[in-house]
């Protein structure tokens, strides 16, 4: 029997129980950090040679040079053409939808001119080169290629470098096909901390990038933390999360499977259901007990639900919304009669799935919005990955002679107040003798 935690907001210790449920230790494993620090130091010092050694050791490959581990554009195209028609069409359809959505996010430069002729504005430019980390081996996610590569390309990134480990030399055709669909410029069969180091510092073969995006294991996460500042990173994501708010009128089997869709990711994933209908919560619990037996990943689901899942009885939907805003979930499903109205009350969530037919899984693959989302309550201050992560802004300031007469006095007064005389005199030099 699956052990499903049941809570009620009427319980005396509910607030403490909720905090305990959400608690997740994000501290870096010291032993992992030491290993990663040494790998990065070695890659920075020895470049190709170090990356090659670690790749051959960890992925059990036998390459003589790093160049051997680069995949040609012809091979990427062949992977796409070699897919079964249904897979190829699904991949291309998903890519088109993701591209169409992200094209709406493009930021544009702007400026305005004041009455005295002073021009102020903002210039938007794209990053020159971006590195995309894609998990390989058993964890092969072509959807991650789409979600990371397409917004970069839409933003106008000049060159996109993808790294993907190939344990025992095994390449995933769907991942390579996704790279072809997205127009990835170069692909290297390397992974782990050494791949992050190669992208961050550059080697004789792998060019240095300006930002690294994409998910990975604990070693990849630790490496991304360490190179931040040398390069930009997207985020260091925690375990997957789903929160469902339901009015009790959706098929309980649907909701049970929606909760499983995140629980099956790994044992640390979190699935929570909020509802004011106690009978419905019991029905969902019964569905979960029955349906889990059909799931190939039932052991992972059982552990995830037992350790970090919950069914929570609320006073009403408004109370459910308040709890949701506190949790700030990665994925939020509003399985209610009027989801659009309820969504207006949501302040903190990575992605909001509205309506009974909108399951989270559609967002993972093909709805259009990005599936790279803030986790571990970071949706309180963070947003989904998007085109804006691959663009940057420069301020534009062109002060007219007339404008300098006004701004110069203001700046000089404030600069003297801060004890910065050179600042003040620099501004005063532009003042005309009165």
What pLDDT sits at residue 98? 98
Q: What are the pLDDT digits (tens) for 243-295?
A: 999 999 999 999 999 999 999 998 999 999 999 999 999 999 999 999 999 99
- Give burial (CB, 10 Å; 0-12/13-18/19+) of 304: buried
Task: Give percent of the chain above pLDDT 70.
Answer: 98
For the chain, the straight-line distance linking the first and the last C-alpha, in angstroms and rounded, comes to 88
Confidence of residue 1 (pLDDT cuts 50, 70, 90): confident
Mean predicted confidence (pLDDT) in 228-241:
93
Predicted TM-score (pTM) of the model is 0.94
The pLDDT value given to residue 136? 83
pLDDT band at 109 (very low <50, low <70, confident <90, very high): very high
> In Å, how far are 28, 91, 95, 101, 102 from 368, measured between CA atoms?
33, 12, 8, 5, 8
- What is the pLDDT averaged over residues 402-426? 98
Span 60-94, pLDDT tens digits:
999 999 999 999 999 999 999 999 999 999 999 99
Residue 8 sits at φ, ψ, to 5 deg, of: -135, 140
Specify the higher pLDDT residue, 169 or 128. Answer: 128
Q: Among all residues, which ones are annotated catalytic? A: 330-331
- For residue 236, the model assigns a pLDDT of 85
Mean pLDDT of 118-135: 97
Two structure tokens written together for 338: 């009027």
What structural domains and CATH numbers belong to the chain? 6-26+238-367 (3.40.50.1980), 30-113+125-233 (3.40.50.1980), 400-428 (no CATH)
The answer to whether the beta carbons of residues 360 and 333 sit under 8 Å apart is: yes
Residue 6 has pLDDT above 80, yes or no: yes
| Arithmetic mean of pLDDT, 328-334 | 98
Q: What per-residue confidence (pLDDT) applies to 26?
A: 56
Instruction: Give the model's confidence band at 30: pLDDT under 50 very low, under 70 low, under 90 confident, else very high.
Output: confident
Residue 29's pLDDT is what? 75
Q: What is the Cα–Cα distance from 423 to 152, expressed in whole angstroms?
A: 39
Q: Name the pLDDT band for 137 (thresholds 50, 70, 90).
A: low
**What's the CA dihedral at 49, 53, 59, 63 to 10 degrees?**
60
Percent of the chain topping pLDDT 90: 93
Q: What is the predicted pLDDT for the residue at 372?
A: 96
- What would the pLDDT profile of 366-411 be if each residue is shown by its tens digit? 999 999 999 999 999 999 999 999 999 999 999 999 999 999 999 9
Q: Average pLDDT of 34-50?
A: 97
Is pLDDT of 27 > 70?
Answer: no
The overall average pLDDT reported for the chain is 96
């Amino acid at each position: 029997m699956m052990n499903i935690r049941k809570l009620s907001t009427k319980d005396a210790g509910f607030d403490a129980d909720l905090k305990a449920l959400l608690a997740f230790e994000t501290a870096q494993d010291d032993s992992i950090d030491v290993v990663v620090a040494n790998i990065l130091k070695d890659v920075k010092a020895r470049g190709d040679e170090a990356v090659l050694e670690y790749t051959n050791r960890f992925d059990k490959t036998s390459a003589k040079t790093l160049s051997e581990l680069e995949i040609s554009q012809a091979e990427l195209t062949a992977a796409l053409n070699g897919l079964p028609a249904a897979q190829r069409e699904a991949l291309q359809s998903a890519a088109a939808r993701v591209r169409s959505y992200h094209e709406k996010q493009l930021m544009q430069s702007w400026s305005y001119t004041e009455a005295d002729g002073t021009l102020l504005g903002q210039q938007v430019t794209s990053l020159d080169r971006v590195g995309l980390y894609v998990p390989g081996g058993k964890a092969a996610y072509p959807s991650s290629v789409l979600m990371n590569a397409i917004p970069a390309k839409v933003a106008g990134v000049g060159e996109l470098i993808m790294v993907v480990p190939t344990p025992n030399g095994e390449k995933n055709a769907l991942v390579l096909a996704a790279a072809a669909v997205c127009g990835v410029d170069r692909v290297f069969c390397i992974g782990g901390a050494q791949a992050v180091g190669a992208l961050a510092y550059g080697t004789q073969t792998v060019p240095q990038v300006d930002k690294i995006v994409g998910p990975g294991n604990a070693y990849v996460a630790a490496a991304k933390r360490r190179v931040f500042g040398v390069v930009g990173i997207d985020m260091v994501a925690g375990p997957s999360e789903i929160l469902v708010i339901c009015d009790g009128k959706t098929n309980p089997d649907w909701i049970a499977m929606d909760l499983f869709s995140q629980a099956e990711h790994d044992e640390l994933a979190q699935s929570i259901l909020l509802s004011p209908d106690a009978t419905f919560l019991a029905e969902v619990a019964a569905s979960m007990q029955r349906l889990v037996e059909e799931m190939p990943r039932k052991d992972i689901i059982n552990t995830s639900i037992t350790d970090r899942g919950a069914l929570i009885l609320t006073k009403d939907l408004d109370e459910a919304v308040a709890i949701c805003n506190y949790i700030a979930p990665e994925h939020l499903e509003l399985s209610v009669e009027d989801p659009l109205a309820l969504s207006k009350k949501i302040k903190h969530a990575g992605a909001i799935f509205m309506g009974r037919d909108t399951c989270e899984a559609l967002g993972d693959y093909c709805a259009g919005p990005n599936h790279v989302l803030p986790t571990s309550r970071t949706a309180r201050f963070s947003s989904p990955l998007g085109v804006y992560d691959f663009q940057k802004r420069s301020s534009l300031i062109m002060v007219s002679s007339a404008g300098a007469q006004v701004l110069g006095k203001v700046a000089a007064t404030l600069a003297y107040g801060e004890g910065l005389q050179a600042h003040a005199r620099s501004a005063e030099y532009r003042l005309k003798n009165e």
